[in-house]
Amino acid sequence: MASNRIRLDLLDQSKSLEHEDYKKQLKKYQLELLNTQLILRERKNSVIIVVEGPDAAGKGGSIKRVTERLDPRLVRVYSVVKPTPEEYQHHYMWRFWNKLPSHGHIAIFDRSWYGRVLVERVEKFCTEAEWKRAYREINEFEKQLADDGAIIIKLFLQITKEEQLSRFRRREGDPYKHWKISDEDWRNREKWSQHNEAAEDMFEKTSTPAAPWVVIPGNYKWFARVRVVKSVSEQISQALKL
Count the residues in the chain.
Answer: 242
pLDDT in tens, 136-171: 999 999 999 999 999 999 999 999 999 999 999 998
- Whether 13 maps to a domain, the answer reads no
Structurally, the chain folds into a number of domains equal to: 1
Rounded to whole angstroms, the Cα distance separating 68 from 42 reads: 21
pTM, full prediction: 0.94
For residue 241, which phi and psi values (nearest 5 degrees)? 60, 50
Q: Which structural domain range is residue 179 located in?
A: 45-239
- Whether 56 maps to a domain, the answer reads yes
- Whether 26 maps to a domain, the answer reads no
Rounded to whole angstroms, the Cα distance separating 6 from 27 reads: 30
The CATH number for 204's domain is 3.40.50.300
pLDDT in tens, 99-140: 999 999 999 999 999 999 999 999 999 999 999 999 999 999
- Whether 117 maps to a domain, the answer reads yes
Predicted confidence (pLDDT) at residue 1 exceeds the cutoff of 60 = no
Asked whether 210 and 152 are in contact (CB, 8 A), the reply is yes
